[in-house]
Amino acid sequence: MLPLKRRKVSSANSGASASHSRDEACKFPQVVLYLLERKMGTSRRSFLTELGRGKGFRVDENFTESVTHVISEKNSSDEVRRWLSSRGHHATPVHLLDVSWFTESLSEGRPVDILSSHRLTDEQPQLESGGEQMATFSLPVYACQRRTGLNHHNEVFTDALSLLAENAELCQDEGRALAFRRAAAALKALPEPVTDVRRLRGCPCLGQRSLAVIQDILENGTSQEAESTRRCERYRAMKLLTGIFGVGAKTADLWFREGVRNLPQLRRSGRILNRAQRAGVAHYDDLMRGVTRAEAHAVVQIAREAAVAELPGAQLTLAGGFRRGKPSGHDVDLLITHPQEGLEEGLIPKMVARLEAQDFLLYHKSSKKSNSGSSGASSMDGFERCLCIFKLPEPDDGGLWRAIRVDLTVVPAGQSAFALLGWTGSKLFERELRRWASREKNMSLSSHALYDNRQGEYLEAATEEEIFAHLSLEYVPPTERNA
Ligand code: CTP
Ligand code: MN
Ligand code: MN
């Protein structure tokens, strides 16, 4: 670089130089370009090279350590790196840019500012070059446009954000809860761990509050806000009380304000509990313990026997978290249908009577199918449903058993794709699907149907793939819906 600078200064001092040496014509000594021939072709490369030199850019014929900007066309950053290292160049140049940066610079007559759109995708962060030159993560806005597997790279951040979301839910602050949930979901979809908040600039779903949490963790190892929430008496009591089946945030809040902090205090308080809450207290430890996949399959088998005995040909599908590949869950979500629509009607009471006679039920509360007119597009309770607590015999018998939460839902065949999509989750993924449908497609999606508001008609679908297609979304398999 140094000789170049000196020459440039001398050429400036000596006025218009007669020399046609490219070094002397160079107006931007900090910028040393190298055009990659791969995919660009020889003739276009030499054309662009001449054009660049004519405008005062230094364009080198060969790749050397002094090259600062590699310009390429239709290559990913990985392809460029592989090409360079295949030629024995292992040092990474500062910038891997698309030819658009070069053509814009040519028309401006100077090197233009590098925008993220100029950088080749999957480029490594340029940490040493400061904020402006750092490659930022880019993500689609809606969680249903992204693939989110069970495992990801940012657990330390998502744990804190999820805890804050949960606390906001316990405070019945839905807006804040959703903001934290969306932020956590965005981090789950990133291809690598966050090491610098500046790389999150421009990422969707990350508000000031969530960014502050991330920054805090990056600087101090933990989030002050999350840690103090975790220790907070109200949070702990509310979490414990809402963990009781049949107790929501409202009830728990009432009890907390009356001094109830835990189960013994609740028992001593002599409050009158409803039937669900009594079952919840009676089986508290079992229900808090979580359900393994093996236990879920055992429940499916028991439920299937009962369903098929009452309705030959009945089909059961395990939905919820287990369908997304989770190894354990808080309940078992089961969808039941029959290929011949109409036959499934009235199945829940028959199944329940049978399961009860076999001593498989500790608790159940059925809800009938509501009239089709009254179940709005966003309502989830239009199906015949039963919230149950199963009494599941332990594998080695001996009369031992444990309590397990089970959700049974009976679905008419024509709606089964919608029900399956709606009951697979995650909850945030479902929310984002409905938000996408209404905001971007002017459609209403529910677990029953998809309605096109513009055309004024229902769109039929026999599979989840067809629903994604109606919504102009790329299909996301269940195991990638863990947003
Ligand atoms: N769901 C619903 N209507 C309800 C409750 C739940 O449609 N009244 C849907 C949720 O939207 C979610 C699915 O049922 O898509 C499963 O919900 P849930 O069992 O609460 O969550 P999981 O993802 O299965 O998580 P877990 O493993 O903890 O059970
Ligand atoms: Mn579930
Ligand atoms: Mn459930």
From 42, 84, 77, select the one nearest 63 (Cα to Cα): 84
Can you give the pLDDT at residue 16?
Answer: 39
Atom 4 (ligand 1) nearest CA: 380
From 114, 107, 115, select the one nearest 51 (Cα to Cα): 107
And the tokens for 166? Answer: 């949960």
CATH class of 291-480: alpha beta
Residues involved in catalysis: 331, 333, 407
Answer whether 146's CB lies under 8 Å from 140's CB. yes
Atom from ligand 1 closest to the CA of residue 329? 27
In the sheet that holds 450-452, the strands lie side by side as 443-445, 450-452, 457-459
**Residue 329 CA, ligand 2 centroid: distance in Å:** 6
DSSP string spanning 198-244?
A: GGGTT-TT--HHHHHHHHHHHHHSS-HHHHHHHH-HHHHHHHHHHTS
Give the ligand with the smallest distance to the CA of 448.
1
Can you give the pLDDT at residue 12?
Answer: 37
Can you give the pLDDT at residue 81?
Answer: 83
pTM: 0.74
Give the ligand with the smallest distance to the CA of 420.
1
Ligand 1 proximity of 382 Cβ (cutoff 6 Å): no
Fold entry, domain 136-231:
DNA polymerase; domain 1 (1.10.150)
Mutation test of ligand 1: which of 291, 333, 431 has the most ligand atoms closer than 8 Å to its C-beta?
Answer: 333
The yes-or-no answer to whether 136-231 and 291-480 have a common fold is no
Can you give the pLDDT at residue 210?
Answer: 97
Provide the residue count of the chain: 483
Q: What phi, psi does 57 have (nearest 5°)?
A: -90, 145
Can you give the pLDDT at residue 381?
Answer: 56
Can you give the pLDDT at residue 295?
Answer: 98
Give the ligand with the smallest distance to the CA of 321.
1
Ligand 1 proximity of 423 Cβ (cutoff 6 Å): yes
CA distances from 428 to 320, 347, 433 (A): 12, 30, 9
Ligand 1 proximity of 331 Cβ (cutoff 6 Å): yes
Whole-number Å distance between alpha carbons of 127 and 100? 23
**Residue 10 CA, ligand 2 centroid: distance in Å:** 75
**Residue 332 CA, ligand 3 centroid: distance in Å:** 6
Atom 3 (ligand 1) nearest CA: 380
Q: Residue 140: enclosing H or E segment and its boundaries?
A: none
Answer whether 106's CB lies under 8 Å from 55's CB. yes
Domain boundaries, the chain: 22-108, 136-231, 233-282, 291-480
CA distances from 257 to 239, 261, 266, 428 (A): 14, 9, 12, 30
Can you give the pLDDT at residue 13?
Answer: 39
Can you give the pLDDT at residue 82?
Answer: 81
And the tokens for 90? Answer: 């292992």
Answer whether 133's CB lies under 8 Å from 114's CB. yes
Q: Residue 292: enclosing H or E segment and its boundaries?
A: strand 291-292
Can you give the pLDDT at residue 24?
Answer: 52
CATH class of 22-108: alpha beta
Mutation test of ligand 1: which of 331, 388, 435 has the most ligand atoms closer than 8 Å to its C-beta?
Answer: 331
Ligand 1 proximity of 321 Cβ (cutoff 6 Å): yes
Fold entry, domain 233-282:
DNA polymerase; domain 1 (1.10.150)
CA distances from 177 to 39, 173, 438, 455 (A): 48, 6, 21, 34
pLDDT in tens, 111-162: 988 888 888 877 443 344 444 567 889 999 999 999 999 999 999 999 999 9
Q: For each successive 10 residues of the chain (483 residues), what is the average pLDDT? A: 41 39 72 91 90 93 89 88 78 84 90 87 49 78 97 97 98 96 97 95 92 97 97 98 98 96 95 97 97 98 98 98 98 98 97 98 91 45 91 90 98 97 98 97 98 97 98 98 98
Can you give the pLDDT at residue 133?
Answer: 62
Whole-number Å distance between alpha carbons of 120 and 118? 7
Whole-number Å distance between alpha carbons of 385 and 97? 57
Amino acid at 219: E
Strand 58-60 relative to strand 32-35, pairing: parallel
Q: What phi, psi does 87 have (nearest 5°)?
A: -100, 15
Can you tell me whether residue 328 is helix, strand or coil? strand
Mutation test of ligand 1: which of 287, 323, 404, 427 has the most ligand atoms closer than 8 Å to its C-beta?
Answer: 427
Q: How many CA atoms lie within 13 A of 438 on its CB side?
A: 10
Whole-number Å distance between alpha carbons of 49 and 475? 43
DSSP 413: G
Atom 14 (ligand 1) nearest CA: 423
Whole-number Å distance between alpha carbons of 167 and 173? 9
Can you give the pLDDT at residue 26?
Answer: 86
For residue 459, the cross-strand partners are 450
From 25, 76, 77, 74, select the one nearest 52 (Cα to Cα): 25
